[in-house]
Every structure is written in C-alpha cells, then in structure tokens.
Structure 1
Amino acid sequence: MTNYNCSRVPDTVQTDAGVAGAGVLLSFIITNMLSIFLAAVIILLNLRKSTSAPICRKLLLSFSDQQIITGIGIQSVGLAKMKTMVPYHFFIIWLLSLLSTVTNQATLLALVNDFKRDWVLRWLRQFLMFINLLLGCVVGIFVLRSVMKNLEPRLPIGCVWHVADRGSSSNAALSTAGTIAVIVANVIVFTLATWYLHARTNPKWLKSVQVVGLVALVAMGVGATIRVVLVSQAFNDPPPSVHLTGPSEKDWSFGQLLPLLLLILPVISTVEIIRGELRVTPNKVDDEMSAPLFSDTELQNGGYQQSPLWGKR
C-alpha cells in the first residue's frame, strides 16, 4: 500500500470526476428530490386517510434502495482513497452521504408500515441504516479533524492524523460547530428511526411526526444540495487553494451519464410490476398451493410481523 506523503505539499490536485463529476452529483441530487417528493405525496395522502398510492410507494422504495447503496459505496471509496484524496473531494463525499441519509429517512417516514409487515425488509433496512451511519460518522470525523487542524487543502485527507495544527482559519469555529452538529444529528436521527422502525404499534401522534420529520429532512436536503452546488467544480468554482488540474469535472462522459441512466431503472421496474399485476393471468396451481403472506393474528396486530429468529413461536 502507498504510504502517506504529508511532508511535501503538491502544487496541484488531480480532478476526480468519479466522486465529484456532474453526473454523479446530479444523480444524488435528483434522486433525493424525487424521493422527498414521493414521500410527501404518500404522507399527505395518509393525512387524508388514503394510503394506497401503489406506484408512488414502489418508486420511492426503489429510489431509496438505490440511493442508500450508492451512498454507502461512495463513502467506502472515499475512505479507501484517503491516502490520496484531498479534503475538497472528501467533503463532497460527506455531503453526498447526507443526501443519501435524507433520502433513506424520508422513505422510512412514508413507508414504515410496509417495513413492519415483513421482518426481513425491516432488518435489512436497519442493517443498511447502521452501515450508512457508521461510514457517515467516520467520514464526518475526518472532515472535522481537517477543519480543526486547518489541513493544507492539497494534502491527502489521511494526513489529519500525521501533521501539526496550522492554526485556526477565519471560519473555523462556525465550520467546527456545524460539522459536530451534523454528526450528532445523524446519531439522533438514527436512534429515533430505529425506534420508529421497530415500534409494534403506531402512536396517535404518528402523522405529526411524519410531517415534522419530513420538513426537517427537506431542510437538510436543501442545505446539503446548496453546499454541493457552491463548492464543486461541476457547478461552480472550487476553492482556489485546491489548484485542480486535469479534465474538468464539468465534462460529460459515459461514466457521468451512467448514474443518470440508472435512475430510469426504478421507473421501468415499477411499470413492469404494475402491468404484471394487472395483466398477467393468474395460475390456478399457484393459487391453490400458495399461502397467505400474513396470518390473521399478524393483521390484527397492526401488520407487524415478528422475526422468527427470536420471536414467540
């Protein structure tokens, strides 16, 4: 493995369209916007005592699954490249992870009853939430250390543990407080989301929690999106101290177009599922041999399916 080179500050930094290119950033931003919109539609229908919206629910679930997987992936890439990746690109990854978290939590607010009905989906969502939180906290700690030490912008982010403090910058206090607040907020949101996901019954004030939580998530998503747009070379001018060289992160290629093309897959899958449910002739053999997914007891218990691994038999 390549050793850290923190003794010499390079004159320039190579661009990295794989994590900060226009297509990558747009895919996260568009997915986040679509997911929040779909979650808002479902929650508003719920307030009017109409929660069907099957197309919206399937689309939202697909977008959320895609976003949380790509969020975990891009954070893993950033941590794997911390010996060469500079704070500029690492900070963008952290902002994208926040968009992934917002998308996941908005989906949980809107589709919590769907997850409660199947213990596999419930614990799979819990596992992905935990991995996303763990990676987000680690990435956030690196960002926090780089702010507190005022790390040279052209040194790898991994050097925050190997270089001396260069003194505080002009906005160090605000940046430090904001970074700590975001990390703490992520932990609090994860704790509340875990309780919300595994609660056996829905409290009377559930709808109020959904509305307030959605408003807070919209604010977080808008804030992260604005910050990404302002700081990235793909949409604006990056900090001059970074001295980016190489192909511009605004340039489009197949690698930048691919994340946007993948956004079409949830739509196609949803159309196929809906058309299949409406048009495919049922098989009598399947009808005779299939068993219902939920028992009468489970349906009477609010649709909460207990895990067979440690639940009562």
Structure 2
Amino acid sequence: MFTCPAEPDCSSETFDADPDIAGIGVIAAFLISAWSSLLITSVEYSSRHSDVFTPYSGHAVRLDDLLRSYIRQFTRRMKKPWTLQSIQPIVLAASDQQLVTGLAIMAAGYIQHCTITQYHFDIVASLGGIAFIVYQPTLYALDGYTNRDPRMKLWRTILMTILFGMIIPSIFAVFNVNFLELYGASTQCVWDDLIDSHHDTTLDVLLSFNLILTIWAYIDSMRYLYPTIFRRIPRISKIVLTRFEATLRWIDKKAFEHLQSINSTYQVYIDNKSMKAFATLSHSRLIYTIITIIMRPIFWVIFVPVFTCQEVMSSHLIDIWRAYTATLAWTIEVLSIKQDAVSTGVINGSENKWGFGQILPLFLLILPAMSTWELFRETQHNGNQGGTRNSYSHEHSDYSERIIHNVFDAPSLHHLFQLQEYNERQRQAIEAQIGFTPIGVVDGARAESDISDRMYESKLFRAWAIFCTLGIFGGSTYSAIIGYGI
C-alpha cells in the first residue's frame, strides 16, 4: 500500500515513547472533548418533543418519538439551564474541533507509516474513530442548523470525507490477524501483507460489520448535510412499508369479501336448502378460514420482525447509543493497551511527560468551555432583563415561538416563507429553529404512515419495541466492555 526508503522493522518488541501521539495530555483532551460532545448532543436530541419538531431532513423517526416519551417521564422535573438555539454555535464549534483534531492525528499516523509502531497506530486509529463517530450525533441534534450556510457546510463535508477515507484503511489494519503481534513492529509490515495475510473468521466478521456501520454512518451524515439531494432517493423503508401495506389491504379485502359471501349465501341456504348455496357457503368458509387463520398470522409473523428491524436501523437514539458504546470500547482499548505496554516493559521512556504537545491540546479545551460559559451567562442575563436578546435572535425568536406553540401548520409556514418581507436569511433562521419540512416531503411520507400508525397504536408492539431497544443497549454496552466496539 505504501513504500518506504528503508526496510521497516517487523521484529522489534521494544519501542520508544511518543508523547505527541500517546501522551496523557493528548489522550485526555480527545476523551474529554468526545464525551462532552456526546453528552450535550444526546441530551438535546433526546429532549426534543415530537409535537413541535419536524426534522429538516424530512424523515421523522417514530421509534425515537416513542423512546422520548418514556425518557420525559423520568426527566420532566429536570429543567435545562440553556436552550438548543442558544448553544448551537458552541456545540458545532466543539464538534468541529473534534473533527479537525481527529484528522490531525490520523494524518500523523499515515505520514509516519514507515516508522510508527503498531502500538501507536492502534491509539491513532482509536482516537480517529472516536472523532468520526461523535460527529454524527451532532448532526442529529443540530438538524437544519448546519444547512444554513452552504459554504460552511461544504468544508465540513470535505473534512468528514477525508476523515472517512482515513478511517476505512485503518479498520482493515487493526482487524488484520497480524496486527499487534509485536507492539514495537512497524505498521508498514501490516500494510505490506494486508492482502496476502491469512484470515481469521472472527476478525473477518468484525471487519465486515465495522465497515458496514462506518459506511452507513457516513452516508447518514451526508443525508443530514444535504437533505434536499437524499430526499429524491427513494428510501428502502418506504418501498417495504408500501408493499406490506398493499399486502395487508389485499388480505383484509379478501377476508371481507368472503365474509360477505358467507352472510349472503347462508340465508339463501336456510331458505332454499340448495346444494349450490351449500357448496358456495362451504367454499367461502374455507377461504375465509385460510385467510384469517393462516395467511393473516403469517403476514404479521413476517412483517413484525421486518418492521422492527427497519425502525431500529432508522433510530437515531440507537445510533447515538452506538456512538457511546464505540467511544467506550475505543477508550478502554487506548487505556488498556497503554497499561499493558507499561506493565510489560516494552516501552522505552515515559509518555506521561508534560511538554508542549501534551499541554496544548488540554488548553485548547478551554476555548469552547469559556464560550459556553459566556453564552450561558448571557442567556441568564437576558432572561433577568425581561427577554433582551442579541440582534440575531431578537429578529426571529418571538415570532417563531408563536409558530411553534400556536400555529405549527406546514401549509401556513409554506405561505409565510413566500412573503416578500422575509428574506432568505430569515427563512433559514426560522427553518433551523423549528425544523421546517417542505410540504412535498410530508406528502411523500404519507403513503407509509398508515401501517406505521397501526403498529405504534398497539401496546403490544410498543412493549416489543422497548424490549428490543433495551436489548440492543445492553448487548452493545456489554460488547464494548469486553472489547468489541461496534
């Protein structure tokens, strides 16, 4: 994959410390930033109310609405000291910083491919994976806000694509059967034998699964950055639900027709004792029994798992939880491999010495923390002063709040945004605040809403959905703890 000016060292057991990559300051800065970003974005996304939020991406997630309703039962007495609108720039800035630092450390790992040890590359890949995975929940929480300025959105797309292009090869490397056999061996040894090395079934399964989830996460992120493009692509979920809806209507129609035939021919048979009426009645009863006793249960036995799988795959709360478990697994991986290297004595020197490369990442965390605190204090001050706002929020918030709480109606909003006194910036600001969805998107989703409503109106299915979700939460957490971050 790469070439080196000299033969890489593939047999070294010991290696020199590199605090600029595996130093305690670098790792601490990454982990503090990642966990803080995950916490804030998950709180914001899980606290949204479905009755006042329609996603800008045009795809409402029914399972997330159900989970939020249960979450609010435990958190309704808790009140956040901020609003999402007030901290959107800070949340995005902190996540952008995580994205840039992830790119920086991944670039360092690839640039030093001839000399970097497999021990240090494992830390690089773990920290880069954390930076990539925690950016997706930010897009969920700030749905619509990132689409206000196409130029700002473009550079985020470019950086995410570059980081994605770096993550994919690193997955092939860390799941190679020869990786980390010797901590001090050069990573180039893995690159040279990446294709010809023998395979392990467990590692191949984990490799495939991680590749699928990483590619899926990237595509989902692009769908949030460019929703107007992905809205034109038919969703598989819509096609599946449409087909199942047509099948269910056919079953109901045939059952009703034969029930009508039974009722009509039964009276004829009672009156005339006709053998023809008896034959028709028997045939209708047989077909009705087959439809109601056999075909209908078979339909639901097939449909419920498919629908459940589809809802799980589209759930952003499950994606956010996966970000938590993946970050937990990579955190455990980084800390455990560092501890193992120290305990076995294969590392020469100490990576805990505080130098410029250690102190700078930690001090960079002060910037978003200071901005968040200043914004929080400004929000409190404005509230105490009777609602004085800055020029940006003063222009839109009063009117948009009335829209949210009183007249949240898509046609009315569509007409409102056509008025000449609202320029493009005002329209985008209100869209970002309330999550406006164009009418065409609502019409496109109407075809799949009937059968979804029918499922979520069932208490049995709601209990089943909660059971499956808790099983996924518990299973993914357990796999993260034992070292499989999926």
Question: Which residue identity lines up with residue 225 of structure 2 in the other structure?
Answer: L
**Equivalent in 109, 129, 137 of residue 106 of structure 1:** 137
Distance 1:297 1:150 in 2: 50
Measure how far apart 1:292 and its partner are.
6.0
TM-superposed CA distance for 1:255, in Å, is 2.4
| Mapping of residues 13-52 of structure 1, within 5 Å | 13-47=15-49, 52=83
Tell me the residue number matched to 2:101.
70
Deviation at 1:22, TM superposition (A): 0.7
Structure 1 window deviating more from structure 2 (114-123 vs 264-273): it is: 264-273
Aligned in 2, Cα 1:164/1:213: closer, same or farther, shift over 3 Å?
closer
CA distance in 2, matches of 1:164, 1:273: 49
Question: Which digits, 9 at most, give the CA deviation of each residue in 1:96-147, with x for residues without a partner?
Answer: 01110122111111112101222223322221211110011122233334x3
Q: In the alignment, does 2:332 pair up with 1:226?
A: yes
Q: In 1, Cα distance between the equivalents of 2:428 and 2:353? A: 57
Establish whether residue 249 from structure 1 lines up as the match of residue 348 from structure 2: no
Q: How far apart, in 2, do the equivalents of 1:297 and 1:153 lie?
A: 52
Deviations 1:132-175 (A, max 9, x none): 10011122233334x34775433211122446999879xx5444
For this pair of structures, how many residues does the alignment match? 290
| Mean Cα deviation higher: 151-160 or 11-20 | 151-160
Structure 2 counterpart of 1:158: 188
Amino acid at match of 1:293: R
TM-score, scaled to structure 2: 0.51
Contact 2:118/2:187 (CA < 8 Å) preserved in 1?
yes
What RMSD in Å do the two structures reach over aligned CA positions?
3.9
CA distance in 1: counterparts of 2:227 and 2:17, whole angstroms:
46
Report the TM-score, using the length of structure 1 for normalisation.
0.76
Give, in angstroms, the shift of residue 72 of structure 1: 0.5
Structure 1 residues 177 and 92, CA gap change in structure 2 (3 angstroms) = farther
Q: Could you list the runs of 5+ residues in structure 2 that have no partner in the other structure?
A: 54-82, 236-310, 383-387, 392-422, 439-486
Q: Assess if the C-alpha contact under 8 Å between 2:95 and 2:135 holds in 1.
A: yes
Aligned to 2:161: 130
Matched residue type, 2:206: G
Higher helix share: 2
Stretch of structure 1 that moved more, 256-265 or 64-73:
256-265
Aligned counterpart for 2:215 among listed residues 182, 187, 193: 187
CA contact (8 A) 1:87 1:153 kept: yes
TM-aligned CA deviation for residue 263 of structure 1: 0.5
Structure 1 Cα separation of the partners of residues 118 and 334 of structure 2 = 14
Q: Which residue of 2 aligns with 1:287?
A: none
CA distance in 1, matches of 2:143, 2:321: 17
- Give CA deviations for 1:203-259 in whole Å, capped at 9, x if unaligned: 9x9xx7332221221121112112111112xxx23287782112x113333421221
Structure 1 position 178, deviation (Å) = 2.7
1:288 corresponding residue in structure 2: none
CA contact (8 A) 2:118 2:179 kept: no
> 1:179 Cα deviation (Å)?
3.7
Q: In the alignment, residue 216 of structure 1 is paired with which amino acid?
A: R
Identify the residue that residue 147 of structure 2 maps to in structure 1: 116
Q: Does 1:269 align with 2:371?
A: yes
Provide the C-alpha distance between the structure 2 equivalents of 1:198 and 1:19, rounded to a whole number of angstroms: 34
Question: 5+ unaligned residues in a row in structure 1: which ranges?
Answer: 283-290, 305-313
Q: Classify the secondary structure of the residue corresponding to 1:61.
A: helix
How far does the alpha carbon of each residue in 1:183-206 deviate from its partner, in whole angstroms, 9 at most, with x for none?
3321111112212332247x9x9x
* Deviation for aligned residue 1:88: 0.8
Distance of 1:190 and 1:163 partners within structure 2: 28
Structure 1 residues 74, 38: closer, same or farther in 2, change over 3 A? same
Partner of 1:307: none
Rounded Cα–Cα distance in structure 2 between residues aligned with 1:301 and 1:222: 31
Q: Partner of 2:341 in structure 1? A: 238
> Alpha carbons of 1:187 and 1:242: their partners in 2 closer, same or farther (altered >3 Å)?
farther
In structure 1, distance between residues paired with 2:46 and 2:194: 52
User: What SS does the aligned partner of 2:143 have?
Assistant: helix
What amino acid maps onto 1:113 in structure 2?
G
Bigger drift between 4-13 and 104-113 goes to 4-13
